[in-house]
Structure 1
Amino acid sequence: MIYSYIGITVLWVFLYCYIIVASIDFGAGFFTVHAKITKQDKKINHIIARYLNPVWEVTNVFFVFFFVGMVGFFPDTAKYFGTVLLVPASVALLLLSIRGAFYAFENYGPDTKLPWLIMYGLAGLFIPGSLATVLTISEGGYITGKESHLDLNWTELLLSPYAWAVVFLAIVSVLYISSGFLTYYASKAKDTEAYKLLRYWFLFWGPPMIAISLFVFLSLRVQNKHHFEVAVTHYWWMFLLSFIFFVIAMILTLIKKYHGIAFIMVMFQMAFAFFGYGMSKLPYILDPYIKLNQSVTNPSMAITLIVVFIFALLLLIPSLILLMRLFIFDTSYVRGKK
């Protein structure tokens, strides 16, 4: 059914937008804590604060739309994922609450306490790790029992090399994406001290991300051989383009030029890898329980959801661009003049 493919494409776009925006936010939190502990906070915290102040409240909007849309388009996901992901989802919700509480104390409290700052920074790494569990479980092999009583095989999950590879990839990708954007942000602000430190982090986290990505691929061959073969046979070109964009971003950063273009290359890199993964996984959403064409909602509901979510994209993305133009990319704001 064409509606199912349109629906999953729209949802994947929402999830991709969330990954980019949230990664910058989560990584910035970790860098704030790291700088505080290593006594480098005076170099970069003002840069990070100027980015986070106008953006943090809208970060989770894309994720909420994705979650609601997934259940709306594919109702069976609520039954399967809702049962087996109760613990990981609860952990992610708790960590999101910690970050929200930190922002409240930061904005309205008299001072930021180091324990709160540490919890805030670590939560930004643990959230993508816990959410990445969804992608791991969707490959199959971790759910036991019948439809009436589903359960998650925790032993299999915790001992799985693929599961841990995905968690580490999520964490390292957050640090890579965030440092890439913040390097551009510091260069635009003409803040030399912050730029040197953030550029170092971006160059540092790039190679580990590629190494872990390769390990995820190799471990996927063991976890889900069919998915691996489809990805390598039909979508290899998308992963090759992703690597080419990574190389371009690294080269531009090494020569200290065109950091805005470098971050665009990072976005292309993540887009081709993310959509290549998603396309090679189809028709399964949860292997082998949920297939795209068999689990989609009725046509009238699907059409309604597609229209609503496309309009939401057309509203959210320009709004985010406007927010960035008014604050994040405004020269006076970036340089701390307003």
Structure 2
Amino acid sequence: MNLEILGMGVLWLFLYGYMIVSSIDFGAGFFHFFNKISRKDHQVNSLIQRYLSPVWEVTNVFFVFFFVGIVGFFPSTAYYFGTALLVPVSISIVLIAIRGSYYAFNTYGAKDSRIYSFLYGATGLLIPASLTIALTISEGGYVDVSNGQVRLLYGELFTSLYAWSVVILAIISVLFISSAFLQYYAHKAGDDNSYQLFRRYTLLWSLPTILASGLVFIGIRQHNPEHFSSMLDIWWIFGLSFLFFALVVYLSYRGKRLGTAFVFVMLQFFSAWFGYGASHLPWLLYDELTIYDGFVNQTMAWSLIAAFIAGFLLLIPSLYLLMRLFLFDAAYIRGERK
């Protein structure tokens, strides 16, 4: 394995971590608002708040690591993606700021209103939708590079089946991952009403998840046949992802081994995520930029890899301690300790 692939693998692992942790957070925010307007907040919102309170501050750590790393390993991405994504990323930053404002108001005792809850829930779906534009444009055909300028082709982007299929999959995946975790969390807390509700949500969003995944395959086949062919070469990885998905649905339906079911959720998305990433190599931006273009020198690469592995090894125990001390502490999970 060469340095370029190793560096990209480390970054992809951080982005996967962000996808899982933030999906739980984003989905919980949407469910918080949805349950409030559907008058089910008395059942579940206290449980959602118990999860969100200690977690929201560390959610973006994975995200920051990835963006620092992608520019560190592949400086040329700043030119191509930085210019093309200036507007979409600015929108994402504004949405993250709005979401952070909700946390601040809620933490310091401001009265919880429907407006705050709406912004909180809406940003939970809009942030992942806006961030997926980076993955979308990496398929090529959405960026014009001419006369030394990089320009995002909004017309092609907004009329593309593939672009919209990725947005749909991102939103549905957030809801599926979050509901699968919260059903386990509610069961662990002994909150049967919340557990039954999130169990229904998990089963409800399971079919749209697999349909949206199929739509993405159709979109890639139409937009980028070369990438689609590469995905077919490693079809077994996506078949493994589907197997994990089937196990999640089975265990959720039976109401057994819900912790294992969520592990299968993580494995489901791990398989699909790394299958997509592996089939995308060596391209960072199709027809314009590969992982071998403008890669940092060997000394800098090894330093970055060591730093990021050390950061990952520090982050994982920190999350473990967070879960032991708060999320899965017997008194905290039942709402007896704040």
TM-score range, shorter chain: over 0.9
2:134 equivalent in structure 1: 134
Please show how residues 154-303 of structure 1 align to structure 2 within 5 Å: 154-233=154-233, 235-303=234-302
Per the TM alignment, residue 294 of structure 1 is displaced from its structure 2 partner at its CA by 2.4
Contact 2:128 2:171 in 1 (8 A): yes
Distance 1:257 1:113 in 2: 36
1:30 equivalent in structure 2: 30
2:50 equivalent in structure 1: 50
1:107 equivalent in structure 2: 107
Per the TM alignment, residue 121 of structure 1 is displaced from its structure 2 partner at its CA by 0.5
Q: SS of 1:150's equivalent?
A: strand
1:59 equivalent in structure 2: 59
1:322 equivalent in structure 2: 321
Matched residue type, 1:70:
I
Contact 2:76 2:293 in 1 (8 A): no
Per the TM alignment, residue 145 of structure 1 is displaced from its structure 2 partner at its CA by 3.3
Per the TM alignment, residue 331 of structure 1 is displaced from its structure 2 partner at its CA by 1.7
Per the TM alignment, residue 128 of structure 1 is displaced from its structure 2 partner at its CA by 0.3
Q: SS of 1:261's equivalent?
A: helix
Contact 2:248 2:264 in 1 (8 A): yes
Q: Deviations over 1:26-61 (max 9, x none)?
A: 000000000000000001001100100111000000
Aligned residues: 337
Distance 1:82 1:95, change over 3 A: same
Q: SS of 2:70's equivalent?
A: helix
1:74 equivalent in structure 2: 74
Distance 2:66 2:176 in 1: 23
2:8 equivalent in structure 1: 8
Q: SS of 1:294's equivalent?
A: coil
Distance 1:325 1:47 in 2: 17
Matched residue type, 2:293:
Q
Distance 2:164 2:297 in 1: 37
Is there any run of 5+ residues in structure 1 with no aligned partner, and where? none
Distance 2:331 2:235 in 1: 44
Query: What's the Cα RMSD here?
Result: 0.9
Matched residue type, 2:60:
N
Q: Deviations over 1:299-333 (max 9, x none)?
A: 11111100100000000011111111111111221
Contact 2:199 2:252 in 1 (8 A): yes
Q: SS of 1:276's equivalent?
A: helix
Q: SS of 2:198's equivalent?
A: helix
Identical counterparts, % of pairs: 52
Per the TM alignment, residue 110 of structure 1 is displaced from its structure 2 partner at its CA by 3.1
Distance 1:303 1:288 in 2: 27
Matched residue type, 1:208:
P
1:88 equivalent in structure 2: 88
Distance 1:147 1:323, change over 3 A: farther
Distance 1:188 1:297 in 2: 47
Q: Deviations over 1:109-136 (max 9, x none)?
A: 3311211110111001000000001100
Matched residue type, 1:181:
F
Distance 2:293 2:111 in 1: 54
Distance 1:110 1:122 in 2: 19
Q: Greater CA deviation, 198-207 or 143-152?
A: 143-152
- Please, what TM-score do these two structures have when normalized by structure 2? 0.98
Q: SS of 2:262's equivalent?
A: helix
Structure 1 runs (4+) deviating above 2 angstroms are none
Q: SS of 2:144's equivalent?
A: strand
Is there any run of 5+ residues in structure 2 with no aligned partner, and where? none
Distance 1:164 1:214, change over 3 A: same
Per the TM alignment, residue 147 of structure 1 is displaced from its structure 2 partner at its CA by 5.8
Distance 1:288 1:118 in 2: 41
Distance 1:331 1:161 in 2: 47
